[in-house]
Amino acid sequence: MMLNCIIVEDEPIARDILRTYISQVPYLKLSGECDDAFEAMQLINKQVIDLVFLDVNMPRLSGLDMLRTLKKYPAIIVTSAYSEYALEGFELSVTDYLLKPFSFPRFVQATEKVLGQNQLSEHISPQPEKDDFLMVKSDKKLTKVFFGDITYVEAYGNYIFIYCGPERIMSKQTLIQFEEQLPGNKFVRIHKSYIVSMKAVKFFEGNEVAVNGKKLPVGKVYRNEMLKRFK
């Protein structure tokens, strides 16, 4: 059994060590490297990843905040120079916590836990995904946002505004990053600056849609996709 893994680490030396260790373990296959949590989130959503070697302290978004933001994530082995995050990590169901600098035998021990869990899961029917929300970092706190409450999302530079009825939540991320976390059957991109909830659309006329009492523009490149949703 092979485990597809990625490294999420902003320190080049730490990445080199992990890369070397991974190359010596026959059941590990390195599928990518990220020095930023947002980049890692996109990779996890696009590829089949079994294991993430995750640093805690990273620019823009910490490793643990990334886990809180994701709706679901693969097995996580935290690699950190700080022991004080261990309890918080295990509360987020990480498989193991490696304190830097860690030895190769300790690294193998952690990966064998993941291998054992994956082999066991092959004999167990997967449970349906029940989460209908995501955690959004806003104003130095994490806010639970239910998909059913979102009417539309607006881009504003490197920030987005998430409209949930009369409430507006601001988060520092791009529209593309946020779109990766949304269920595609419930939301659609209508413009370079807008994503709408199909449930919240009142009507579609010309190059506009009515959402939450407001008319939003539909870009030319997105119009055909919008038309398909109404068929």
Same domain, 137 and 211: yes
Q: Are 24 and 104 in contact (CB under 8 A)?
A: yes
For residue 94, what is the domain's CATH number?
3.40.50.2300
Same domain, 94 and 198: no
Confidence band for 55, pLDDT divided at 50, 70 and 90: very high
Query: Mean pLDDT, to the nearest integer, of 127-155?
Result: 83
> What pLDDT does residue 166 have?
83
Number of domains in the chain: 2
Same domain, 115 and 137: no
pLDDT digits (tens, 9 = 90+) for 56-93: 988 888 999 999 888 788 999 999 998 888 888 888 88
Q: How far apart are CA 10 and CA 14, in angstroms?
A: 8
Same domain, 85 and 156: no
Query: Per-residue pLDDT for 7 more than 50?
Result: yes
Print the domain residue range for 108: 3-121
> What pLDDT does residue 120 have?
67
- What count of other Cβ atoms lies within 10 Å of the Cβ of residue 10? 16
**Within a domain: residue 127?**
no
> What pLDDT does residue 229 have?
76
* Sign of the alpha-carbon torsion through 143, 187, 200, 152: positive
Same domain, 49 and 115: yes
For residue 165, what is the domain's CATH number?
2.40.50.1020
